[in-house]
Structure formats: structure tokens, C-alpha cells
A and B are shown apart, each in its own frame.
Chain A
Amino acid sequence: MSRGLLEIRDAVRSGALTVADSIADAIRQIRKVDPELHAASQVFETEALERASEIDRSIAAGKDPGPLAGVAFTVKENICTRIGLTTAGSRILESYRAPYDATVVDRLERAGAVCVAKTNMDEFGMGSSTENSAFGPTRNPWKTTHVPGGSSGGAAALAAATRGMIHLGSDTGGSIRQPASYCGVTGIKPSYGRVSRYGLLAFASSLDQIGSLQGSARECAAALSVLAGRDPMDSTSLDREVPDYLAETKLGARGLRIGVPREYFPEGIDPAVRQRVLEAIDVLRKLGATVKDVSLPHTRYANPTYVLISGAEASSNLARYDGVHYGYRAEKHGSIVDLYARSRVEGFGPEVKRRVMVGTFVLSAGYHEAFYNGACRVRKLIRRDFETVFQEVDAVVCPTSPVTAFPIGDKIDDPLKLYAVDVLTVPANLASVPGASFPCGATSEGLPVGIQIYGRPFEDGTVLRLGAAFQDATEHHLAAPPVRAWEPAAGRKG
């Protein structure tokens, strides 16, 4: 079968496809590719098929099953689900069962979608390669010796190797967009406040946002229409109208003004990445978009700012994992302080410890003003850059990552090298703007390249509209990786 998400939705609505068949096929796809990819950390076959039959029965009874009926979705390990475990890729939560569903899970289920699996990730979202998972790295379906990117690496690998599903990810500094780029799929980090964070295990609360990794801009639009909206459980979600994102993707690129920021083609950028992105910008120009050079001058401070703010928030957010109330507890311990220390030393991986240490330092008396407050002030400057540029253009276009997927083990021992791959994605989180990555070709090695599109806050629709226009004119998003559970349609290159 291997239909796209919109085809599945329509087939279920018309009665041509049962939810049970759709979900069974999704599980089949995952099971087929996962031995090579190690992307799905848990598969919920029994529960998913049960739920699918329930929806089929309710369709048979004449009830409206919802706008995403029959669509399978996977959930990143840091998003709470009542079924299965919610590990955040960490030993400290290796047997943690969440007592509730995240709002996004609830929204998808109420729309008729069915949760089929959870996906591997860098521990607590800290990483850009999924190598920091306590449960082993995920592999890139384009080249299994390479990383899929991260931290939503499991979601990205599955999005590339399977068809027709929604893969929920989270993005604190690029964790949806960068793996989407490395795996040749579409991934959107919505505007901050667009999608509820309730049930997302916080890494850095002011930067975290849930989004999805899927086969195309339109598939993402269909999902976002369901995911977006005010949630009373998340005070930072805003009460703004949720437009029909799918309808917006049909408007084309004509008339939109896009800015190409000179700072986003940094020294050391892979020439192939630069080339593919410039070609993609050319496509957008030919589609009727106006292209102009712009400047976001504070971009070079984005990465250190990100390291300080995300570290500070993480040091506080991760304090609750202490071995007392839930999660991993060290077997041998003396005093309560010893219990905390041992549980955390044994439960957290090295990258998490590194960031918690940085964050604790940043907030400490004597350093707070220089580091934390300083970073908050720079963050405002970065925001202002975007506000200024968005007075001239409707979107900003640039590479998603300066490099493509790298070999497993290549950068893991050098945190600074690994942080550098986030340099083009962290500004979106600091500025709270929406950003998405769309496949725009590959290197000579066959590794996917992604083009990133930023929009104004709450103009997620414009980002997806440009992406859809690009995908209507190109076939990069249809390219098939060597490891896959689907066959490309005849007449299309694979």
C-alpha cells in the first residue's frame, strides 16, 4: 500500500480503506525497517489494532471519526503517553510510565489518529545525532553508518523509511528540523505557543516546541491543524485562531517576499549544502517569490546564547529526576543527598550532566548576571533582528544545517563540534518564530540536504505554503532512501 497521509485519510473517509488495515500497514512498515534503523523504541501493536477496530466500529455506526481517522502516529520518547513507557531516551526514566497523555497525543487521538510507536531520541533532547540515547543510536535510512540527526532522530528516520504517518518530535534548538534535513523529510517546529507543551518532558521550557516530521509540507499542514491551539494546561500556549493550514498550502509562492540572510551561509558550510539551497531559492524565485538579501546580525551570538539559556532552564527542569518520587533510584545509597547524587550520576548520560553543570553554573550567585542575564539580553537582540527583517520580507530562507548527516561516532567526543551543527536552527527557538526544513536534494554521496524556511510568529501557514509550492515544483521530498518500507510511485525518481 504505502499511501501518503492525505490518501489514507481520504480512503478511510470514502470507505475504501479500514482503519485496521491502515494501522496494520503502518506497523508492518515500522517492523520492516526498524531492525536496520533502531528508530522505534516501542511498538504498540495490540493497543493500536484494538483502537483501530474501535474507530472502524464507530465509522460503521455512522459517527464522524475525525479529520485524521485511520492515520498512524508515532511519539517521541519525551512526550507522555498513557500506554507504554516515556523514557526521554534516558536511563533515569527507563521504566517510567506516565500517568497521563500529552495534549498533542490527546488531540491526535480525538482526531481519529492512532498511536503505533514511540521513537528514539537523544537523552532529554540533548544532542544532534541520537547517539546520546541511553538505548543505542538510530541509523540514517540513507546511509546506515551515519546518524539521522537529532534529537528527534528516531522520528526522522521513520519519516524517511515509511509513508503516511505523523511522527511527533520536539525542537529546542533544531531537534525537528536538523534530523528532518539529514533524513530528507519535511519537519516543522511551529511558533512558540502554537502547540501545547503539556506532556512534553521539558528540556528548556522557553525554547521547547512540539512539531511533526512527515512526508511533505501538506502532510505537516494536515497535522498542525489538529495539533495547534490554546491549551488551558499550558499557560504559554496562546489563544490565536488556528487557520486551515492545508488550504494555505494551495496558495503558491507568488507574491511572497523571501529574505536570504547572509549570515546563514557560514564559513565551513558544506559546498554541496550551499549549492542545493541556492538552487532551491532559485526555484522559489521562478515560482514568483521575490528574493532579497537580508541581515540577521546577531546570529553569531545565537549558539552561545542558546547554550546558556537552555542549560539554565535544563538544570532546573531536570532537577526533579532525583530518585525520590519516580524513575531510576541508585541501589546503594546513604543519606538523602547521597541518594540524589548517586541516582543522578548513574541515571544521566554525559551530555545531560554536562548541560546541567553548565546551567547550574550559569544561574549561580556571582555568575548569574554575566551569563544568564547577559544571555537573556542577547536573546532580545536576536528577536529584534527577526522583527526588523520581517518588516521587509514574509519569510527567511537558509540551509537547515551547514552540514549533512555525519558518520556515527564522528563528533560524539567533541561537544563543541556537535553544538556547531545547531547554529542555523537555534535562532528560531530564541526568537519564538516558526521554522521548517524541506528536502532540497542531496550531496554526491547521496546524503539529503534541507532548506529551512522561517516565518513570522504565528505565520506557520506561510512557511508551509512556501514549502508546498517548492514541493509542487520539485520531487526531492519523494526521493526514496535505500532502507525503506515503501515503493516510490512509477515515473518518479527514487
Chain B
Amino acid sequence: MPPERRDPTQGTPFEAVIGLEVHVQLKTRTKMFCGCENRFGAEPNTLTCPVCLGQPGSLPAINRAAIEHAVRVGLACGCDIARSTKFDRKNYYYPDLPKNYQISQYDQPLCDGGGLDVAVGSERKRIGLTRIHLEEDAGKNIHAEGLPESWVDLNRAGVPLLEIVSRPDMRTPTEAGAYLRMLRLVMLYLDVSDCNMEEGSLRCDVNVSIRPRGSGVLETRTEIKNLNSFTNIENAIEHEIERQIALRAAGKEVVQETLHFDPVRGETRTLRGKEEAHDYRYFPEPDLAPLHIDEKWLESLRGTLPELPIARYERFQSLGIQPYHADVLVRDKDLADFFEEGVKICSKPQEIANWVVNAVKEETNARGVSAARIGISPARLVSLVEAIEGGKVSKQKARDVFRSMLGNEDAVDAVIASLGLGQVSDDAFLRAAVAEVIAENPAAADDVRKGKKNSVNFLMGQVMRKTKGQANPGMVTKLIQEQLGG
């Protein structure tokens, strides 16, 4: 679960009303309306053609893969999918928008309603969705410091973009953060977007207002734009709620405006007021025929939906996995998939979960690779877990074995042997060792006979010393008690 943050309305008569408008770039091979490659990070203006450059006479043609992605997102969020929809033109002038209109959807979004179940602390909350629609991304204006000109990179122009509008169902920065993280996770599970905030494939605008606690009225809201990290989003919301509470406390009104959040100073400042709001003069895009979603196609897409994070979280818990481990696993799809592979062939799910959440995750974090690429297969991890369970290696030494198993195909037994970490479980050998230690430490042996638990540990330590730490501790304890009747 994401970290619980302070609720800035606590101790005030207000509650906050928060809605999020999220833009997600879809991971398709080509752009929304032309055949140009959809890829981040190429040389400026190299992924362009007459269509996405808005050259005179060019026309858009819908990319079916983008519709497919959008419909799958809609299905995963429980939306009503429009059987008949259309695209509209949103008209405004900006240098990164070469046609000076954006092809978007106005009054007939592809997906209507729906919602996401979000875990907030130990609670479960459903955040409703207003709509999800498809549009094309704009290019990027580049303002080089000290130069009088600005530059435009149109590689991003025409990239398919999903706009996901939530209902104003969130009340705290924590809830907003939890919703956004869950939304991102769903996108990753559906494999429809990279959701990388740094690269701009996930962008978020926030609407915030406050009202007397318990009032059902929606009051004047402000919109915060240009939020580029989860922490910034939470900070911006927190700051904005505080600002609005302070305004109200001072007897002033909240003014409808668009704000820009400065993450360094932790403040918002006005970008534009209500009177500067655009009239986008929407009208149906005459270059595209209305879009019809075939029932059969819809059903076949429904069949491609993966298990969603919240369902997986519950299933992991039903396997006996502790909530903390289930949560860590579900938040990283690769990690969870790795875990699933292991569980298929092992009857100790929590043990596997411990290993994946600790050792495997540490490795992926340290090396910046996915679980599948750290150099140990789920099956080999299972063999290690089984070796521990079977007493072949101690829990303490198993981490060394894990490390030595990375990047090769050696069997776990061979690794244990080569490290000299084999755990001795030979009954006769251990019996002899225990007998020797008892003979050498008569006082401690006596204490054990009198019921002193600490002395069992002392004798155990001696046996370990004698066997260079390789004695199976469970068996040694049993043998000491057997021989001394403690």
C-alpha cells in the first residue's frame, strides 16, 4: 500500500473533493491516425509524415490497435463500451498542434462510467470514472535557454492518448495517490502503456475543491496542471487543500482557475483564470466515419483481459500469503509472475513469497532488470526453498547459495556442495558430536537437566562450533533434549 499521508482537512470543518484527469499514451506500434512509428526518444521530427505533420491535404485513418487498447481498458474498469461512437475536433491554436485542432472525442466517449477499486490503508474504496476517451497527443515545444526561438518536435504528435476522467470521489491526497497508482498498475497489467511519468506516457491533472464536511454540494474548484510525479501530485493536492482552507478561514472565496505546481517551492501559482478558458468549438471530425464496435470483437477482447491487480492480491492472500507480501508482489507484475511460476511447482507459497519479495526484488532493484532476467529461474528458486525445507542448507547460509545460483544453470545441491555449506543431518554423526559436547561441558549439561533453556542454546552453540556451523540445528536441539531429558 502507498504510504499514508497526513489528511490536511483533519481538525477543520472541511472535506476535500478531488478528481483526476489522467492522460495515458498507448503502447501501439504506430500512431493514432498514421503509419509513423510510436516511440519515445528518437531524434526530433524523425517519426513524422504528412498526416502527423498536419500537411495540407493529408487525412487521418484510425489505428485499430489503439481502439483495441482503449476498449480493453474500458472493459477492465467496468465501463459501458459505446457500440457506436465518433471523433470530434477540438479547435485551438498552439505551435505543437500542427493542424491547430486535436482529434478527440467530445459527446460520445468510447467508454462511459465504470470505476476502480482502490486500497487505501486497510480500507477498500471504489473510485468512479466519468468517462474514458481516445485522442491524439500533441507534439512538444522546446524552449532552449537563452535562445530567442522556440522549437517544435512533432515525434509525439499523433501518438494515441487515452484520457481517463475520474468522478470527484477522492477526499485525501492519499486516496488520490492510491487511485493513480492503481490506475497505472491496471494499465501495466493490460500491457497498453508504459505509464512512465518521466517520459510523459502518464500525465495527470488534478481538480480540487473543499466543502463543509458532509455537504453534498460541489463547490468552486481549481485545476492543477503539469504534475510529473506521484509525490508531486500528492504534495500539490495537499498544498492546494491547505490554501483553499486558509482562504475560506480568512473569509475569502476560492476562485476558479488553472494552477501550475512548482515542486521546488511546493507552491501553486495561477496559469490562467476562468475568463481565459478556451471555447474549443468542438464539432464531429468529418474526415473520419463514425466508429462501430462489433459485439463479437468486444467479446473476443473481453477474453484477452488478464487477472487485474486487486483480484490477484486477493487470490494471493487466499493462498496463505501475508498481506504485505501479496501487496509487494502485485505492485510489480514481473515479480508476481515470477512468484506464480514458482508456486505452480511448490507447496510452500509463503516461503516462495519471502524469497521473491526479499532476495529477488533486491536483485531486480539493484540491477534495474526484471525478475525474469536476474539469472535464476522460478524452478531453481523453488529447488533452493526445498533444499532449506529438507535441511540441506541452513536458512542463514541460503542467501549465499542464492547469490551463487545467479547467472548459471548449476543445480542447487552442486552449489551448496561447492560452497561447502551442506548442512549435516546425519544422525549418527550428530549423536556423536552431541555426546562429546555434553561430556566436555558437564556443568551446562546439569543445568539443562534442571530445566535451564539458555543452557540448551549454549550446548547448541558448542555443537555448531565443532561441526563448523553445518549441523542441522533442529536435529541438534532434539538430540540434546533426548540425551539430557531437558
Contact = CB atoms under 8 A, between A and B. Distances in A.
Contact of B61 (A98, A233, A360): A233
B62 A235 contact: yes
B283 A199 contact: no
A233 B283 CA distance: 22
A251 interface: no
Interface in B265-300: 279, 281-283, 286-289
Contact of A236 (B50, B58, B289): B289
A86 interface: yes
Residue among B50, B58, B101 with most chain A CB within 10 A: B58
A198 B57 contact: yes
B281 A320 contact: no
B100 A322 contact: yes
Nearest to B58: A198
A468 interface: no
Interface stretch (A15-23, A43-51, A200-208): A200-208
B57 A199 contact: yes
Nearest to A93: B56
Interface in A332-378: 336-337, 340, 360, 363-365, 368, 372
A79 interface: yes
Interface stretch (B70-78, B88-96, B163-171, B326-334): B88-96
Nearest to B34: A233
B59 A233 contact: yes
Given A235-B289, A236-B287, A316-B101, A197 B59 contact: yes
Contacts of A201: 56-57
Interface in B100-114: 100-101
Given A80-B57, A100-B55, A198-B57, A363 B283 contact: yes
A88 interface: yes
A96 interface: yes
Contact of A316 (B58, B61, B279, B281): B281
A79 B56 CA distance: 9
A478 to B, nearest CB: 35
Contact of B57 (A102, A204, A235): A102
Contacts of A326: 55-56
A235 B32 CA distance: 13
A205 B61 contact: no
B143 to A, nearest CB: 12
B281 A368 contact: yes
A64 interface: no
Nearest to B277: A365
A375 B98 CA distance: 28
Contact of A325 (B53, B61, B62): B53
Contacts of A420: none
B128 interface: no
Contact of B91 (A232, A316, A340): A316
A118 to B, nearest CB: 14
Residue among B62, B98, B99, B281 with most chain A CB within 10 A: B281
B287 A235 contact: yes
B59 A234 contact: yes
Given A235-B62, A235-B287, A236-B289, A325 B54 contact: yes
Given A80-B57, A93-B56, A312 B283 contact: yes
Interface in B340-386: none
Contacts of B50: 99-100
Given A200-B57, A235-B60, A319 B283 contact: no
Contact of A235 (B55, B59, B89, B99): B59
A56 interface: no
Nearest to B287: A205
Nearest to A197: B59
Contacts of B60: 235
A131 interface: no
A324 interface: yes
A98 B56 contact: yes
Contacts of B281: 315-316, 360, 363-365, 368
Contacts of A368: 281, 283
A123 interface: no
Contacts of A460: none
Contacts of A319: 91, 93, 99-101
A34 interface: no
A167 B141 CA distance: 42
Given A319-B100, A325-B53, A232 B279 contact: no
A93 B62 CA distance: 28
A122 interface: no
Interface string A289-319: 0000000000000000000000011011001
A88 B56 contact: yes
Nearest to B50: A100
Residue among B50, B287, B288, B289 with most chain A CB within 10 A: B287
A99 B49 CA distance: 9
Given A99-B50, A365-B279, A320 B61 contact: no
A236 B95 CA distance: 28
Nearest to B92: A319
Interface in A229-259: 232-236
A198 B91 contact: no
Nearest to B281: A363
A102 B100 CA distance: 22
Contacts of A232: 61
B276 to A, nearest CB: 12
Residue among A86, A96, A204, A322 with most chain B CB within 10 A: A322
A206 to B, nearest CB: 4
A77 to B, nearest CB: 11
Contacts of B99: 319-320
Given A235-B289, A319-B100, A202 B57 contact: yes
Contacts of B101: 316, 319
Interface string A272-300: 00000000000000000000000000000
A315 B288 CA distance: 18
Contact of B59 (A96, A198, A313): A198
A363 B278 CA distance: 13
A473 B145 CA distance: 75
Contacts of B152: 324-325
A364 B61 CA distance: 27
A126 B289 CA distance: 25
A235 B287 CA distance: 7
Contacts of B53: 325
Contacts of A100: 50, 55, 58
A430 to B, nearest CB: 13
A78 to B, nearest CB: 8
Residue among A200, A325, A365 with most chain B CB within 10 A: A325
Nearest to B291: A235
Contacts of A313: 283, 286
Contacts of A206: 286
A378 to B, nearest CB: 16
A324 B154 CA distance: 13
Interface in A79-112: 79-80, 86, 88, 93, 96, 98-100, 102
A337 B282 CA distance: 21
B95 A324 contact: yes
A336 B151 CA distance: 12
Contacts of B288: 235-236
Given A235-B61, A324-B152, A372-B283, 13 more contacts: A88-B56, A198-B59, A202-B56, A202-B287, A205-B287, A233-B59, A235-B288, A315-B281, A316-B91, A319-B101, A325-B152, A326-B56, A360-B281
17 contacts: A96-B56, A98-B57, A200-B57, A201-B57, A233-B59, A234-B61, A235-B60, A235-B288, A235-B289, A236-B288, A316-B89, A319-B93, A320-B54, A320-B100, A324-B98, A363-B282, A364-B281
Interface of A: 78-80, 86, 88, 93, 96, 98-100, 102, 197-202, 204-206, 232-236, 312-313, 315-316, 319-322, 324-326, 336-337, 340, 360, 363-365, 368, 372
Top 6 A-B pairs, shortest CB-CB distance: A319-B100, A363-B281, A205-B286, A206-B286, A199-B57, A201-B56
